[in-house]
Amino acid sequence: MAEEHYLELSENPVQFEHASSVNNVFFDEANKQDFINFIPDYPHTEFTQECKTRNASILGFCWTSWNEIVFITDQGVEFYQVFPDKRNLKLLKSQSINVNWYQYCPETAVILLSTTVQGNVLQPLAFKNGNVSKMSKFEIELPVIPKPAKLSLSERDVAMATIYGQLYVMYLKHHSRTANSPGAEVVLYHLPREGPCKKSHVLKLNTTGKFALNIVDNLVVVHHQSSQTSLIFDIRLKEPDCSVNTQQPVLPARSIHPYRIPLSGSAVVPSQPPVPCQLYSSSWSVFQPDIIISASEGYLWYLQVKLPPTVKLLQDKGKLMDFLLRRRDCKMVILSVCSQILEGSEKAELPVVATVFDKLNQVYKEYLEAEQSYAAAVESGPSRGAATQKRPVRTQAVIDQSDMYTHVLSSFSERKGVSHKFIIAVLMEYIRSLNQYQITVQHYLYELVIKTLVQHNLFYMLHQFLQYHVLNDSKPLACLLLSLEGTYPPAHQLSLDMLKRLSTANDEIVEVLLSKQQVLGALRFIRSVGAHDNVSARKFLDAARQTGDQMLFYTVFRSFQQRNQRLRGSPAFNPGEHCEEHVTHFKQLFGEQAMMKASTV
């Protein structure tokens, strides 16, 4: 079977003319930095800024905003504001500290400084709006090695990245190469804006060698050069058989999907095939969060995760859902998994299906609650904090009832060769899950259940579901039951009972009764709900006349005459009631004397 590659390089890489195009930053001198404007209408004359600290050597610089820059020297940091129009810089802040090397996270504008002889005491600094603040200093725990050897923390083994919106320092911890070596680890330190930095996760690599780190879609990707494979870790997934902070890879090690470089240039033959890219090359440079550069081939790629291959590699469907729900482009893959577990060779047991539904609806409920909270804040006005509350973003992880009905349940209910008992059990399990999370079930799901029951002549089960309110009352559902009367006569009464329970469907009940020529039943119903004084007399007289029963017409006509007498002191109908033709019909059937008799009521 072909290997499933769950990582790939971006299709449209940035191409450099040749390898030397990938340059480092060069300084004018050890303590000076040159600047040149590229802003339109600004002078392009170069200008230079010298370090304020005497005898300091610049290790590098970081732009924290378009006009703010930090010089990192071996003696500390200098924070400047740049004035392009004046071609000079103003020193905002400076910090004195011995620095071995540094790391920078552009997303959070945090610089990590390596201090002390061993380099393992790290000082983070946060930059924002012209201010610099010291975050909690912390120490990286180095591996224990035999004396008298001394180990120092290398810049190559440390990286900073944002994972699930939180800043982490990642330390690639190598162990001594012995028979009992546990293999290398990636140790994650959570770095909050306030409070101490703590070791939060240990990612077990179970091997040794040269590694490189990327972050893709909140996954920690560890590349292993000698095996030419990569591992991925999801720090939100917790192994049941491991301690809280120790994690194994989510999936088996796999190589990045093979990439072919198209040939270019005048000497290239049109039929000449693209050249395979050398993956995991020693000329690769990896940058955070997801950049890979091949200096020898002159390409820059973004690393990407392919979700479909992960489905076969992760057999635990509950864990698979946890994994997929946290990924960016997950919706269609999740819906595909839902279809797979309901039929064919991948068909799962009902408890597994229930687990999947619960995980989907938990995310769905969280989104609905966030929407309700936002709507309430907007309605209450800016005094309650609506101005600061952001509208919740609907991610692809929100799988609502419409998605499930359209892409999964509708086609599944019509699938040949699937037990109707299993179909009904799955539909009811999804409705059970929605109710568990207090999500209002849409009527089309109930309709799907009823249609499936009717299709298989399971009328007893339908009656039970309705009698014990397994299917919630709604007007659309009552109308569907009415349409089933020809197939299942008790459906008519079930529909009426449902409409009565709704208490907001009086008009619908009257229409149903009149359509069945149950005119006296409709009359008794409107009296029972106190609506007799407001209903249209013409509607009832039309229905009574259409039955062809003269005595029924007489009874209904006299009933409304009595109503008129009680309300207006006269049995006559108002012109606005448009009952003239019924008055004429009454006289034709029973004579003027009957009308006169009626007028004395």
Lowest model confidence (mean pLDDT) among 160-174, 292-306, 341-355, 378-392: 378-392
In this predicted model, what pLDDT tens digit does every residue of 162-211 receive, in sequence order? 999 999 999 999 876 655 667 889 999 999 988 899 999 999 998 888 99
Average pLDDT over residues 222-249: 83
Task: Please indicate whether residue 200 or residue 493 has the higher confidence score (pLDDT).
Answer: 200
Q: Is the pLDDT of residue 230 over 90?
A: yes
Residue carrying the six token digits 């040794």: 208
Query: What single string gives the DSSP state of each residue in 58-117?
Result: EEEEEEEETTEEEEEETTEEEEEEEETTTTEEEEEEEEE---S-EEEETTTTEEEEEESS
Q: Residue 307's pLDDT is what?
A: 93
Confidence of residue 29 (pLDDT cuts 50, 70, 90): low
CB-count burial class (<10 Å; 0-12, 13-18, 19+) for 523: buried
Q: Which one-letter amino acid corresponds to residue 238?
A: K
Confidence of residue 44 (pLDDT cuts 50, 70, 90): confident
Cα 105 to Cα 27, 41, 166, 168, 597: the distances in Å are 22, 31, 12, 10, 97
Residue carrying the six token digits 């119903």: 525
Q: Residue 504's pLDDT is what?
A: 72
Q: Residue 176's pLDDT is what?
A: 63
Rounded to whole angstroms, the Cα distance separating 49 from 28 reads: 10
Average pLDDT over residues 242-262: 83
- Give the H or E element holding residue 376: helix 350-380
391 token code pair: 């509208």
Q: Is the pLDDT of residue 77 over 80?
A: yes
User: Which one of 15-24, 68-77, 478-487 scores highest in mean pLDDT?
Assistant: 68-77
In this predicted model, what pLDDT tens digit does every residue of 352-386 receive, in sequence order? 999 999 999 999 999 999 998 888 888 777 655 54
In this predicted model, what pLDDT tens digit does every residue of 417-454 receive, in sequence order? 788 899 999 999 999 999 999 999 998 898 899 888 88
Confidence of residue 242 (pLDDT cuts 50, 70, 90): low
Q: Residue 150's pLDDT is what?
A: 65
563 token code pair: 């109503």
Rounded to whole angstroms, the Cα distance separating 125 from 160 reads: 13
Rounded to whole angstroms, the Cα distance separating 540 from 531 reads: 13
28 token code pair: 């004018």
Report whether 142 contacts 120 (CB < 8 A). yes
Question: Using alpha carbons only, what angle is made at residue 562 by residues 559 and 568, rounded to the nearest 5 degrees?
Answer: 140
Q: Residue 46's pLDDT is what?
A: 82
Q: Is the pLDDT of residue 266 over 50?
A: no
Helix, strand, or coil here: 514?
A: helix
Q: Is the pLDDT of residue 599 over 70?
A: no
Confidence of residue 505 (pLDDT cuts 50, 70, 90): low
Q: Which residues contact 304 (CB under 8 A, 6 or more apart)?
A: 7, 8, 9, 10, 216, 290
Q: What is the CATH number of domain 19-140?
A: 2.130.10.10
Rounded to whole angstroms, the Cα distance separating 527 from 152 reads: 91
Give me the residues paired with residue 189 across strands: 169, 199
Confidence of residue 34 (pLDDT cuts 50, 70, 90): confident
Give me the residues paired with residue 50 across strands: 32
Residue carrying the six token digits 């690639």: 172
Rounded to whole angstroms, the Cα distance separating 97 from 105 reads: 20
CB atoms within 10 A of CB 111: 26
Q: Is the pLDDT of residue 1 over 50?
A: no
Using a pLDDT cut of 90, give the percent of the chain over it.
37
Lowest model confidence (mean pLDDT) among 21-25, 151-155, 375-379: 21-25
Query: What single string gives the DSSP state of each residue in 412-423?
Result: HHT-TTS-HHHH
Q: Residue 239's pLDDT is what?
A: 63
29 token code pair: 């001198």
Q: Residue 270's pLDDT is what?
A: 58
pTM of the entire structure?
0.79
321 token code pair: 């859902």
Q: Residue 180's pLDDT is what?
A: 64
Average pLDDT over residues 339-361: 90
Q: Which residues contact 62 (CB under 8 A, 6 or more apart)?
A: 69, 70, 72, 104, 106, 111
Rounded to whole angstroms, the Cα distance separating 71 from 43 reads: 23
Mean pLDDT for all residues in the chain: 84
Phi-psi region at 469: left, alpha or beta (left = phi > 0; alpha = psi -120 to 50): left
Q: Residue 101's pLDDT is what?
A: 93
Q: What are the extents of the domains in the chain?
A: 1-10+154-258+279-306, 19-140, 517-600
Report whether 130 contacts 80 (CB < 8 A). no
Cα 163 to Cα 159, 216, 560, 573: the distances in Å are 12, 9, 74, 76
Q: Residue 514's pLDDT is what?
A: 81
Q: Residue 240's pLDDT is what?
A: 57
Q: Residue 418's pLDDT is what?
A: 83
State the maximum Cα–Cα separation within the chain, in Å, rounded to a whole number: 128
β-pairing, 219-224 vs 211-216, is antiparallel
CB atoms within 10 A of CB 74: 16
Confidence of residue 27 (pLDDT cuts 50, 70, 90): very low
Lowest model confidence (mean pLDDT) among 57-71, 186-200, 325-339, 486-500: 486-500
Average pLDDT over residues 82-89: 86
Nearest by Cα to 350 from 436, 433, 422, 431:
422
Report whether 241 contacts 224 (CB < 8 A). no
Report whether 439 contacts 364 (CB < 8 A). yes
Rounded to whole angstroms, the Cα distance separating 191 from 517 reads: 75
